[in-house]
Chains A and B, each alone.
Chain A
């Protein structure tokens, strides 16, 4: 379908559709299915797959209209949209048919099985092995830091299928059913006290042949797609805040659902530094009168504004047809720096009180939670150092570092 979209046409179409279909007393699952069928749930997606082929620049218009109506959107929590985008880009029609809808309705939960004890930044060093035997793939090995694995129905798995070729060429990408005997999930406690990531052990776990994503040996390419969306979405993992407009049973159902789906992510806003609290804290603690604090606070607010504007420039460039690839790394790095600056400001505004946690701590422990969560932001989803490598090599075109890991993977030095 080739529609000539304009802002006013989008607005009008969405409004008309919401007027006819939005019902705050519908069952959540029914509403989401209707939404998915209409294409307004993921408007930028192809019309063949639950979208309307809307130019990405016009998506905010759709969200505005949903907000105006207080209409609930598709599920967005966790890595579900990374899974969906990856399947859209590399999956078979059968896989898209099977998974996309239930990703958007929130019925199924996903996790990302990439990192291993022996390979994190160097993701291409995975040693979890998948072997084709008797009409299925058999998986053995271990993943780690897997967020939400304890809730997940399915996982995006990167595994080694060939040890005799260079490391990047020997991996294959799969969708694995997490609810099976061969998959053992064990929660790991984090430094901030939460346990949202896990270690995952595979002992002869199985994957049907039709759950391989893209060709055998193409795993690295597929994983790059997932990571590109991850860097871009670095800030949107907690789903959107809903502008509730009316009473309706759907809201209670949605609140209950998101409490479950977002359980592993409750501390994610804190890891981003909670810039939104900074001014109020400075006023409340009177540290706003301190010259040094004012300087750091102002620096924080400016960085945060500039990052917003930079993201908006990147989106505009994308609309003009320039591709948005490694630029996602700039945004991720910016968020990291902002979080660290926020850490400094919250410490300055709280003073000695920042020694205290839990109920004894400022804002009932929220400040302590910020101080203990920010360190994750420069590690999760690719460390700051890796982002800087990407920026320098792919945006600035600087020479890659000499590699010591070429040749058959079997012979490469590893942990």
Chain B
């Protein structure tokens, strides 16, 4: 009837929050920005192996925790709050989702490997021209040989398994394919990204040996996109909440005119309005997360509401947070811009708020 997290879910949130606070505080994330892979392999391994988060909603038979998407989204929200830079979203959520929607003979093994952390996967589906429209993909697989170009791939170079959505050799059919990252014919081009804590790359495939994981049609693909959008939206509201907290904290300590700036209404009201919008967006994200586990006809509607709300509020929260900090907010040393960068990047990935407002109406049938 009413939406509330269970005690177990609250405990999971607490555990993950504490882990991230001790293992990847923002100073450590700043170090990772300059590292080769952008994240600490040990921290990620610890998340997967020690905390058992490798496949939260993956089936127990494949080593997953067999929980719901709500738990996955709780973890993502905390990661968004902490600005975690590791490949959890790309490997343990998006790749797991892709593998879970395939029935091919090999998928179970791949899934087991990803969930256990033996393999780090990422998903390559977006193309420069087609964006994320399945029907316009040019990358194609012919008799186990994959050619084409994918871009906006998360954490590409550090992955050892690539999962690619491409045309199959039968016309008008599409499939998911697995490629070992060290296969011959793969060329990575790192992209200079606005978000310093999420690595983006373009990957070129020239007749690369690929294993077919299973066929996908438009409806399966849309379901996959909805899962991805909801995952991202939940990560985003974690970031938005962090920006609000940071703004309130600074406003409560910084003194001007003999009083904290938080006692000035221009600042106070900005924070109150932000709290309202963060709460509204959270409600959307939690609803959507819950719906992902149910064959609910409104899944796409809920996903679009979540992404539209989260996109707008995260960007605004980060902008307001910079504003509340004044000059220091515009410095490289202040951490706020790191979240702002994540906000701007996530805002447009898989559709900005205008896109999802339009999609929502279409899903409503008006």
**B332 at the A interface (CB under 8 A):** no
A396 to B364, CA, bound (A): 36
Q: Which of B252, B280, B354, B358 meets A307, CB within 8 Å?
A: B280
B2 near A306: Cβ-Cβ < 8 Å: no
A388 to B271, CA, bound (A): 9
Q: Which of B268, B305, B361 meets A297, CB within 8 Å?
A: B361
A389 to B271, CA, bound (A): 10
Q: Which of A279, A313, A334, A392 meets B366, CB within 8 Å?
A: A279
Q: Which of B279, B282, B287, B360 meets A301, CB within 8 Å?
A: B360
B357 near A313: Cβ-Cβ < 8 Å: no
Q: Which of B305, B358, B366 meets A306, CB within 8 Å?
A: B305
| CB within 8 Å of A: which B247-285 residues | 248, 251-252, 259-260, 262-265, 267-269, 271-273, 275-276, 279-284
Q: Which of B269, B280, B360 meets A392, CB within 8 Å?
A: B269
| CB within 8 Å of B: which A178-222 residues | none
Q: Which of A306, A319, A388, A402 meets B273, CB within 8 Å?
A: A388
| CB within 8 Å of B: which A370-415 residues | 385, 387-389, 391-393, 395-402
**A357 at the B interface (CB under 8 A):** no
Cβ proximity bits B157-191 to A, threshold 8 Å, 1 near / 0 not:
00000000000000000000000000000000000
**A68 at the B interface (CB under 8 A):** no
B287 near A391: Cβ-Cβ < 8 Å: no
| CB within 8 Å of B: which A268-313 residues | 279, 282-283, 288, 294-295, 297-299, 301-303, 305-307, 309-310, 312-313
Q: Which of B272, B286, B305, B308 meets A396, CB within 8 Å?
A: B272
Q: Which of B267, B271, B276, B284 meets A305, CB within 8 Å?
A: B284
What band does the interface of chain A fall in when counting residues whose beta carbon is under 8 Å from B? 35 or more
Given A315-B2, A319-B4, A397-B252: A306 touches B275 (CB 8 Å cut-off): no
**A242 at the B interface (CB under 8 A):** no
Given A305-B305, A396-B248, A399-B252: A313 touches B4 (CB 8 Å cut-off): yes
CB B128 to nearest CB in A, in angstroms, measures 25
| CB within 8 Å of A: which B1-33 residues | 1-4
Residues of A within 8 A of B276 (CB): 330, 333-334, 337, 391
A294 near B361: Cβ-Cβ < 8 Å: yes
**A236 at the B interface (CB under 8 A):** no
Residues of A within 8 A of B358 (CB): 294-295, 298
Chain B CB within 10 A, most for which of A297, A303, A306? A306
Main secondary structure of the interface of B (DSSP, over half): helix
Given A316-B4, A399-B259: A306 touches B309 (CB 8 Å cut-off): yes
A398 near B268: Cβ-Cβ < 8 Å: yes
Residues of A within 8 A of B259 (CB): 399, 402
A201 to B211, CA, bound (A): 85
CB A58 to nearest CB in B, in angstroms, measures 10
CB A60 to nearest CB in B, in angstroms, measures 7
A385 near B309: Cβ-Cβ < 8 Å: no
CB A390 to nearest CB in B, in angstroms, measures 8
CB B58 to nearest CB in A, in angstroms, measures 28
B280 near A310: Cβ-Cβ < 8 Å: yes
**A358 at the B interface (CB under 8 A):** no
A398 near B287: Cβ-Cβ < 8 Å: no
A294 to B364, CA, bound (A): 12
A312 to B248, CA, bound (A): 26
**A57 at the B interface (CB under 8 A):** yes
A309 near B287: Cβ-Cβ < 8 Å: yes
**A89 at the B interface (CB under 8 A):** no
Q: Which of A60, A306, A398 meets B284, CB within 8 Å?
A: A306
Residues of A within 8 A of B305 (CB): 302, 305-306
B366 near A288: Cβ-Cβ < 8 Å: yes
Residues of A within 8 A of B366 (CB): 279, 282-283, 288
Residues of B within 8 A of A396 (CB): 248, 271-272, 275
**A320 at the B interface (CB under 8 A):** yes
B309 near A398: Cβ-Cβ < 8 Å: no
A316 to B9, CA, bound (A): 15
Residues of A within 8 A of B281 (CB): 306
A127 to B264, CA, bound (A): 28
A391 near B275: Cβ-Cβ < 8 Å: yes
A387 to B265, CA, bound (A): 12
A283 to B259, CA, bound (A): 53
Residues of B within 8 A of A385 (CB): 265, 269
Residues of A within 8 A of B (CB): 57, 60, 279, 282-283, 288, 294-295, 297-299, 301-303, 305-307, 309-310, 312-313, 315-317, 319-320, 330, 333-334, 337, 385, 387-389, 391-393, 395-402
**7 A-B contact pairs sorted by A residue (CB < 8 Å):** A57-B1, A298-B360, A301-B360, A317-B4, A337-B276, A388-B269, A398-B271
Residues of B within 8 A of A (CB): 1-4, 248, 251-252, 259-260, 262-265, 267-269, 271-273, 275-276, 279-284, 286-287, 305, 308-309, 354, 357-358, 360-361, 364, 366
> Contacts A57-B2, A401-B263 given; 13 further ones with Cβ under 8 A?
A288-B366, A295-B358, A297-B361, A302-B309, A302-B360, A312-B1, A313-B283, A316-B4, A319-B4, A396-B275, A398-B251, A399-B263, A401-B265
